[in-house]
Chain A
Amino acid sequence: MPGSLHIITLVKWVPDAQLERRIGEDRRLDRSQGILGELDEHPLETALQIKEQHDADVRVSALTMGPPGASAAVKKALQIGADDGFHLTDEALQAADIWTTSGALAAAIKYVRTTAEDSDYLVLTGMASEDGETAAVPAQLAGRLSVPALTQARSVVLTDRQVVVERLSGNRLQKVSAALPAVVAVTDQANEPRYPNFRAIMKAKKKPTTTFSLTELGLTRYAVESKVSLIAAEPRPERQAGEIIHDDGNAGQKTVEFLEKEGLL
């Protein structure tokens, strides 16, 4: 275990998947409401468990990129247990694609690292964001930071300067190690995230959050221009309920007859 470790967990403020989500006329996702993405609670839990398991000096930072409202995701992360928060917000980052997101986050991580330069670091992310669902940002971010990416992690163990994860690679279950620094994307199977209690919520009010824009990162609007843009978006027609029968003793047969009629046998 390193003498001092800095874990940066990426958290995203996303529209609640339980509610109706929509893409507007401007072909942008409606982000007027949001929550801390559920999948981002798992890497945060991993970070907090590492901190608790090691007596050494471990600092957990929560980093988000998003509109002003995204500060709510950082606030929630601080309540759950992160030590400090960072929020990159800039109009030029609206409708960011994978390229722009990973570029801005890599620069943001370098910025966050200037506050703790002499420690090792580990970046933890969720397996995907619940809005973009590309699952591509962790590996692209790792590429930009020139560090290895271990995605699909079902478990994460830190020993000395090595991170060891269990992950699924196709139909193979692997145990893989990499030296720090590294990016690890944690699945929702990795742990059961904790809920913030009252004491933690009170304590979180005193924790520092730094808000910054592309200017502080030395990036121009041009440097983060998306490579891919949405040119059309339409809602999928709602599925309609079909024929519903109550089992009168012949439902199994009737189901097979339905499959045959539809040409599915």
Chain B
Amino acid sequence: MTQVLVFFDRVENQLTPAQAELLTHADALGDAVVVTGSLPPEGPAPLAVQGVTGVLTGAGPMYAPDPALADLVSAAAAELSPDLILGPDTPDTVDALSRAAVSLNAGLITGANGVTGSGSATKSVLAGSWRTTARISEEGPLLATLRPNTASQQVIPAEAPEVVELEVAASSAVEILEEAELPDSGRPDLTEASTVVAFGRGVDGDLSLVEQLADELGAALGASRVATDAGWIDHSAQVGQTGVTVAPQLYISVGISGAVHQKAGMQTSGTIVAINRDEDAPVFEIADFGVVGDLNDVLPQMIAELRRRAK
């Protein structure tokens, strides 16, 4: 039986879709124990999920970017001798597992699409243009972060797991001086959404149509570098080589020319639909369905048609 240690930097009163998906992967691989920097006030209830056999925390909560999170992972690994240590592919998780890999003397693969119990992982590299398989060269464990698959996975409820505290405490190496939650758009998280509507220069600062389209489709909103640099939306919405890489089932590109940089962040999407005024826009080279036209004509008609069908 493969022993899987799953790391979440924090667990809140509801699992994120990426966390839920990771637990279904872990359940398919073997026995899973979750180690986390913090639990919600009501305890491990959100982790009452099939496959989770136990929960480990530190002596008191600790939050990213505290390097103690890495110590916690190492301490948990020392208890369990897992074959795999997995986490969602978020920067804070990458940091904690990278650091833990040093003390565990172990190999690390980030941004994997899949892993096996024997320590190999597949991943897309070079901006999605190549697919690779890598494997640890010695005995385990393998540490890996997994990209969301965006296929919605249903976790199966189970009894609440037992929580055991390890003797690792928050450190004073970093101090969080201020913290503010980003405003909630009410839309799904960009990296986890099964549909993404992304916009660029073409919307000229007016987001009303792309927002309405996204809401009709239950989609997340993404943007090109031009649109985030112009301040039309927060930088965290940037899809591209230096921003977020997305691979939704459906990607709708609105008013984005689709230069190499943008393409790098979305070319592994399932289906790509592009709407652009310029018929020579590079995005049409990779679109499954392309509309050469004015978004101010095409989008209102799409939205009206979607609303008509929803009735």
Q: Using CB atoms and an 8 Å cutoff, list the residues of chain A in contact with chain B.
A: 17-18, 21-23, 29, 38-39, 97-99, 102, 127, 130-140, 142-144, 148-152, 154, 164, 167-178, 187-189, 225-236, 239-247, 249-256, 258-260, 262, 264-265
Count of B interface residues, CB-CB < 8 Å: 94
Q: A164-B177, A175-B177 are in contact. Are A17 and B250 (CB under 8 A)?
A: no
- Among A21, A175, A187, contact of B178 (Cβ-Cβ < 8 Å): A175
Query: Measured between alpha carbons, how far is A187 from B241 in the docked complex, in Å?
Result: 12
Q: Which of B75-110 contact A (CB under 8 A)?
A: 90-92, 94-103, 106-110
A143 touches B132 (CB 8 A): no
Most buried by A among B130, B182, B268: B130
B181–A140 CB distance below 8 A: no
B108, A98: Cβ atoms under 8 Å? Answer: yes
A148 and B102 contact, CB distance less than 8 A: no
B273: chain A residues within 8 A (beta carbon): 255, 258-259
Q: Residue B175 at the A interface, CB < 8 A?
A: yes
By a CB distance below 8 angstroms, the chain B residues around A167 are: 65
Show 29 A/B contacts (Cβ-Cβ < 8 Å), sorted by A: A21-B126, A23-B125, A98-B110, A127-B242, A143-B67, A143-B70, A143-B101, A143-B102, A151-B65, A169-B64, A170-B64, A170-B90, A173-B179, A173-B181, A176-B177, A177-B177, A227-B138, A228-B109, A228-B134, A230-B133, A236-B130, A241-B285, A246-B291, A253-B301, A255-B298, A255-B302, A256-B309, A258-B273, A265-B217
Q: With A148-B173, A259-B273 as given contacts, are A23 and B130 in contact (CB-CB < 8 Å)?
A: yes
Tell me the bound Cα distance from A98 to B109 in angstroms: 8
Q: Are A252 and B299 in contact (CB under 8 A)?
A: yes
Find out whether the CB atom of A251 lies under 8 angstroms from the CB atom of B179. no
Chain B residues contacting A253 (CB-CB under 8 Å) are 301-302, 305
In this assembly, does B114 line the interface, its C-beta being within 8 Å of a C-beta of chain A?
no
A134: chain B residues at CB < 8 Å are 94, 108-111
Cβ A140 vs Cβ B101 within 8 A: yes
Residues of A within 8 A of B120 (CB): 231
Return the contact of B291 from the options A187, A228, A233, A247 (Cβ within 8 A): A247
Assembly CA distance A167 to B64 (angstroms) = 11
Nearest-CB residue, chain A, relative to B241: A17
Q: Which residues of the other chain, A, contact B311 by a CB distance below 8 angstroms? A: none
- A247 close to B297 (CB less than 8 A): yes
Residue B207 is within 8 A (CB to CB) of chain A in the complex = no
A172, A225, A244: the one within 8 Å of B182 (CB): A172
Q: In whole Å, how far is A62's beta carbon from the nearest beta carbon of chain B?
A: 20
In the bound complex, do residue A150 and residue B174 qualify as a contact, i.e. CB atoms below 8 Å apart? Answer: yes
Chain A's nearest CB lies how many Å from the CB of B264?
A: 7
- Is the CB–CB distance between A140 and B99 below 8 Å? yes
CB distance from B176 to the nearest CB of A (A): 5
Contact assessment for B250 and A259 in the assembled complex, using a CB-CB cutoff below 8 Å? yes
CB distance from B185 to the nearest CB of A (A): 10
Pairwise interchain contact B98-A140, C-beta atoms closer than 8 A:
yes
Question: What residues of chain A lie closer than 8 Å to B298, measured between beta carbons?
Answer: 247, 251-252, 255
In the complex the two chains form, what is the Cα distance from A251 to B285 in whole Å?
A: 19
Report if A229-B134 is in contact (Cβ < 8 Å); known contacts: A99-B107, A242-B288, A252-B301. Answer: yes
Which residues from chain A contact B235 at a C-beta distance below 8 Å?
154, 189
Contact A228–B179 (Cβ < 8 Å): no
Question: For residue B97, which residue of chain A has the nearest CB?
Answer: A136
Give min CB distance, A144 to chain B, whole Å: 6
C-alpha spacing A164/B174, complex, angstroms: 10
* CB within 8 Å for A256 and B305 given contacts A140-B98, A228-B108: yes
Q: Could you say which residues of chain B place their CB within 8 Å of the CB of A250?
A: 301
Is B129 a contact partner of A242 (Cβ separation < 8 A)? no
Q: In whole angstroms, what is the CA distance A55 to B133 when docked?
A: 50
**Of the residues B92, B129, B271, B291, contact of A169 by C-beta under 8 Å:** B92
B275 at the interface (CB under 8 A from A): yes
The answer to whether B293 has its CB under 8 Å from any CB of chain A is: yes
A226 near B137 with CB under 8 A, answer yes
**Most chain B CB within a 10 A radius of its CB, from A171, A175, A251, A260:** A251
Q: How far is the CB of B87 from chain A (nearest CB, A)?
A: 12
In Å, the complex CA distance between A198 and B254 comes to: 41
A227 touches B108 (CB 8 A): yes
Question: Does B46 belong to the interface (CB within 8 Å)?
Answer: no
Give Cα A246–Cα B98 distance, bound, in whole angstroms.
49
